[in-house]
């Protein structure tokens, strides 16, 4: 019985090892929540094999190791969001370590106007039948995966890293509002009825 238990533990360890390759330069300080991993895989269809952290401690999970410019842009987006949130007197979920950002494969890299816009296709849901509906799905720059633990997914970028900072700030707004101002959060949750970003000014 003990041998079987050891074999089981070894198998679990092997799965854990093959699921995430942790960066030696910037190791992930905490494990990634399995719920967020499952949601990210469900939304994107990707297999995430890399886990790392930004210089300021945001957990980042991706298909391939993100470039330094990407990690810095993620930190920049959160820094801008936290500064605005603090001006509003918010205090909850304003730590870089509170967040996990998944980076998935982009389902498109240009929008209808031909501009560089890496986005992820997600189910249309409340946008069904609207101008955003692309046949049962919409293209989104990012999508919140969970509020506690806090995480969202964005698309891979090869350039225009300032756009990553904006997307992080905008997706993070939903989570900050959820933890600090439920009234405003409920008003801006559904973009099909308004409430476009930036929500916090």
* pLDDT at residue 27, as a whole number: 45
Q: Of 22-26, 96-100, 114-118, which gets the smallest average pLDDT?
A: 22-26
Q: Which residue has the higher pLDDT, 180 or 113?
A: 180
Give pLDDT tens digits for 145-188. 999 999 999 999 999 999 999 999 999 999 999 999 999 898 87
Question: How many other CB atoms sit within 10 Å of the CB of residue 45?
Answer: 12
Mean pLDDT over the full length of the chain: 81
* pLDDT at residue 6, as a whole number: 30
Could you identify the residue written with the tokens 């997600």? 122
- Average pLDDT value for residue range 117-143: 71
Token readout for 37 is 């991993």
- Average pLDDT value for residue range 97-116: 92
As a whole number of angstroms, the distance between CA 175 and CA 93 comes to 8
* pLDDT at residue 191, as a whole number: 65
How many residues belong to the chain?
201
How would residue 127 be classed by pLDDT, with cut points 50, 70 and 90? low
Greatest mean pLDDT among 6-20, 75-89, 134-148 lies in 75-89
How would residue 199 be classed by pLDDT, with cut points 50, 70 and 90? confident
What is the DSSP secondary-structure string of 159-199? Answer: S-HHHHHHHHHHHHHHHHHHHH-HHHHHHHS-GGGS-PSP-
Asked if residue 54 has pLDDT above 80, the reply is: yes
Helix spans in 66-115 (H): 68-87
Q: Which residue has the higher pLDDT, 118 or 108?
A: 118
Structural domain spans, the chain: 21-193
- CATH T-level assignment (fold) for domain 21-193: Glutaredoxin (3.40.30)
* pLDDT at residue 3, as a whole number: 33
* pLDDT at residue 25, as a whole number: 40
């Amino acid at each position: 019985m003990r041998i079987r238990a050891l074999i089981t533990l070894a198998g679990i360890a092997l799965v854990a090892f093959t699921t995430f390759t942790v960066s030696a330069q910037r190791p992930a300080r905490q494990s990634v929540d399995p719920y967020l991993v499952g949601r990210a895989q469900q939304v994107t269809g990707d297999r995430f094999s890399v886990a790392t952290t930004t210089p300021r401690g945001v957990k980042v999970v991706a298909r391939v190791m993100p470039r330094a410019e990407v990690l810095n842009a993620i930190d920049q987006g959160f820094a801008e969001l936290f500064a605005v949130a603090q001006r509003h007197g918010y205090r909850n979920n304003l730590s870089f370590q509170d967040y996990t950002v998944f980076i998935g494969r982009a389902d498109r890299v240009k929008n209808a106007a031909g501009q560089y816009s890496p986005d992820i296709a997600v189910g249309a849901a409340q946008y069904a039948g609207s101008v955003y509906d692309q046949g049962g799905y919409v293209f989104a720059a990012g999508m919140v995966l969970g509020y506690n633990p806090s995480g969202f997914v964005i698309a891979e970028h090869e350039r225009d890293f300032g756009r990553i900072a904006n997307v992080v700030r905008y997706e993070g707004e939903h989570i900050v509002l959820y933890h600090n101002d439920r009234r405003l959060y409920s008003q801006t949750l559904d973009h099909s009825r308004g409430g476009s970003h930036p929500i916090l000014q």
